Structure 1
Amino acid sequence: MAATMMAIGLMSGTSLDGVDIALIETDGKLVQAFGPSGYRPYAENERVLLRQALTDAVDLPQREARPGILREAERAVTIAHAEAVATFTAQNHINREAIDIVGFHGQTVLHRPAQKMTVQIGDAAALARAIQIPVMHDFRAADVAAGGQGAPFVPVYHRALAQSLQREGPMVVLNIGGVSNISYIDGADTLIACDTGPGNALLDDFMFRVTGQQFDCEGRMAAQGDADEAWVARALEHPFFSLPPPKSLDRNDFASLELPDLRPADGAATLTAFTAAAIARIVPLLPKQPRSWILAGGGARNLTMLRMLRERLEPATVETADALGWSADAIEAQAFGFLAARGLKGLPFSYPATTGVPVPMTGGVIARP
């Protein structure tokens, strides 16, 4: 097998906004080059379908079952990803025969590692046939079956990126998607990861419920409000926040938390502050205080979130992935291209200190055209 591979990564996250796609050249250990990236948004009817799928998945009897709306949602996810690849390769004049592997995460509809259950919908065999490229999928199942949390999986990619910076550690790469997660990196040997708590999910749901908007653009709504710090302090009493890493969450684990009757700006400020405070709560549970934080994911676009994080994490520096020349939007898609390349070479995706597996583990299943 060639030393380096051309890999496309696909990611549809817990925020249900669309499909991120990115091309990278990698040997599965370091990134040789970043290719272009793209995005295929979900239409409103697709979002409605996926929200319903999350509800219908709550009582899934086994991983392969697709009751209720789940089969229709799986088909929609597969078609959306096939369209994303078709548009991306056409727009960027990429010859599909030059692509060695596609990493297809699918759409998580249930993540319950305690019950050894993690379900990502999406038909990889149908996708491979549609795009005529081998597809690696089902990245999380082996980890969860071995007793791991099955998340987060991006840390091994964060480490590859961080090693190229050649700066003094420890540093943390913080991804704020629907859920927030960190990769704590200190040299080549120390890699610790976990979910820290809510990311954008509670805020996005609140914004949609109160304003009809999908998210708080640049944190403008929160910037006009005042956070209810007493509510934030009570919310932080949830036992999850004092657990040491590794640990992981489902998008809806905090959905039952109810805000008091606040005006929209104060509600947005409170939920933004809750995310920032939950992230700061991880610092005492790490081996050393981080010197620097690098912020990626949709939350990196939220200027109010950025300001709150800088206040809560000082004296550490907080900067965005984009400021370093990384792509905050494409980083998770790139990661699943990177993981697919690692999977082809049998290299580990997860470690005892990232997901809690007993030994370093690879994973993924390949579907061929």
Structure 2
Amino acid sequence: MKADLYIGLMSGTSLDSIDAVAARFTPEFELIGHCSCELPEALRDSILQLTQPGDNEIDQLGELDLALGREFAAAANQLIRQLDLNTDQVAAIGSHGQTIRHRPAQQFTLQIGDPNSIAELTGITTIADFRRRDMAAGGQGAPLVPAFHEALFRSAHRNRYIVNIGGMANVTRLPADRSQPVWGYDTGPGNVLLDSWIQRQQGLGYDHNGQWASQGKPHQPLLTQLLALPYFQQPPPKSTGREQFNQAWLDQHLAGLDAAVVAVDVQATLLELTAHSISDQIRLQPDWQHSEVYLCGGGAHNAVLRQRIQQLLTPAKVTTTEALGLAPDWVEAAAFAWLAYRTQTRKPGSLASVTGAQGDRILGAIYPA
């Protein structure tokens, strides 16, 4: 039986679920199937706690690394059952893991989700720890998905921008001119602050379709303060995470205002922050008005956010990656299936033009079945 399928596992900054996809990449990309497995609430809360500095971190990390590895394995096994696959058909699993720290200035990044457990519980070779090889070569270790965006979405006729809106947001520029390099970087917060604020105020995991934000009015002084963060003006390569964009950072800015802001207006302001920090970066490019912009990630389903990005980028066309043949929910998991494929076939998975590394590198550590 030919082992030509790859499974990709992704749990992003939003920590809402584990996405799993099965795909093949030869002779061309084909999405075989997918599933999404909700993370247990207690595990999610523990991971959120670990993403911020605290006490007894090493013991917490060890416990969560193992627990999350088992959840990743369960997601892979669920997908295999759902598709009625034999494990002999799967060449490898690519697992991103859950980022606990990302500090590119210190050349340090850490993802948990024990790949030994994934390999053991699935019986399938597992590839993980994709980011640190790029960092060892002087890169940011992120974002890694632009290389996959290039492989799947680049056009010979139109310049394209692929915008992933997960917990954080990142943009990839795919020039039609093949002599021009692909570039990409994290633009700032995607859903992370929106989710955190509505969780605090209403006990909800996310703002469905941006409905709550749409009921508020952006608070311009707060938005101006938030956009003044030097990160937004910092030239690429650059990447970021919860270390910068978190509830404590927002609270500091709220406390510095002359008067309290109504909670719903804070949500509207945070939606503006995400929309502007994405759109401002695209508008820096001379070709942006004649380009195509495709959104993916959970934020692509936020109708109000999507509409606001379209308003800020008119006359450019803004839609989702569904129009390119891959639904927004599965792009990142598919990217890590592709990265596993690249590693197993001894091909680079990173783009130095994106991360700032000394060169493209073969990524990941291999944990044999």
Q: Same fold (TM over 0.5)?
A: yes
- Cα deviation for residue 46 of structure 1 reads 1.1
Task: Please report the RMSD computed on the Cα atoms of aligned residues, expressed in angstroms.
Answer: 1.9
Partner secondary structure for residue 100 of structure 2: strand
Mapped to 2, the partners of 1:31 and 1:80 lie a distance apart of: 30
Residues 15-67 of structure 1, C-alpha deviation per residue, up to 9 Å, x if partnerless?
1111100011114xx843111111111121111111122124x799xxxxx61
User: Who is 1:156 aligned against?
Assistant: 147
- Cα deviation for residue 283 of structure 1 reads 2.4
User: Who is 2:64 aligned against?
Assistant: 73
Mapped to 1, the partners of 2:276 and 2:368 lie a distance apart of: 44
User: Who is 2:359 aligned against?
Assistant: 359
Mapped to 1, the partners of 2:86 and 2:263 lie a distance apart of: 48
Mapped to 2, the partners of 1:240 and 1:349 lie a distance apart of: 26
| Unmatched 5+ stretches in structure 2 | none
Residue 87 in 1 paired to residue 78 in 2?
Answer: yes
Residues 243-266 of structure 1, C-alpha deviation per residue, up to 9 Å, x if partnerless?
222210022312213336333321
- Cα deviation for residue 75 of structure 1 reads 1.5
Residues 12 and 19 of structure 1 are in contact (CA less than 8 Å); yes or no, is this contact kept in structure 2? yes
Partner secondary structure for residue 29 of structure 2: strand
Partner secondary structure for residue 351 of structure 2: coil
User: Who is 2:101 aligned against?
Assistant: 110
Mapped to 1, the partners of 2:239 and 2:308 lie a distance apart of: 23
Tell me the TM-score normalized by structure 2: 0.92
- Cα deviation for residue 117 of structure 1 reads 0.6
Partner secondary structure for residue 363 of structure 2: coil
The structure-2 alpha-carbon separation of the partners of 1:146 and 1:286, relative to structure 1 and needing over 3 Å to count, comes to farther
Mapped to 2, the partners of 1:52 and 1:238 lie a distance apart of: 24
Residues 213 and 265 of structure 2 are in contact (CA less than 8 Å); yes or no, is this contact kept in structure 1? yes
| Unmatched 5+ stretches in structure 1 | 61-65
Residue 11 in 1 paired to residue 10 in 2?
Answer: yes
- Cα deviation for residue 344 of structure 1 reads 1.3
Mapped to 2, the partners of 1:207 and 1:234 lie a distance apart of: 20
For residues 253-292 of structure 1, the aligned pairs below 5 Å read 253-255=244-246, 256-258=249-251, 259=254, 261-286=260-285, 288-289=287-288, 291-292=291-292
2:42 to 36, 39, 45: 45
Counterpart AA for 1:82: A
Counterpart AA for 1:257: L
1:234 to 201, 225, 229: 225
Residues 66-87 of structure 1, C-alpha deviation per residue, up to 9 Å, x if partnerless?
6131111111211111110111
Partner secondary structure for residue 278 of structure 1: helix
Mapped to 1, the partners of 2:217 and 2:84 lie a distance apart of: 48
Tell me the TM-score normalized by structure 1: 0.92
Matched pairs, number: 357
User: Who is 2:342 aligned against?
Assistant: 342
State, as a whole percentage, how many aligned pairs show the same letter: 35
2:161 to 172, 183, 186: 172
2:122 to 121, 127, 131: 131
- Cα deviation for residue 147 of structure 1 reads 1.3
More moved, 208-217 vs 252-261: 252-261
- Cα deviation for residue 167 of structure 1 reads 6.1
Counterpart AA for 2:129: D
- Cα deviation for residue 236 of structure 1 reads 1.2
Q: Which runs of 4+ in 1 moved over 6 A?
A: none
Mapped to 1, the partners of 2:60 and 2:91 lie a distance apart of: 33
Residues 316-357 of structure 1, C-alpha deviation per residue, up to 9 Å, x if partnerless?
111012244311111100000001101112222222221110
More moved, 182-191 vs 200-209: 182-191
Mapped to 2, the partners of 1:68 and 1:333 lie a distance apart of: 29
Residues 9 and 94 of structure 2 are in contact (CA less than 8 Å); yes or no, is this contact kept in structure 1? yes
Mapped to 1, the partners of 2:267 and 2:193 lie a distance apart of: 9
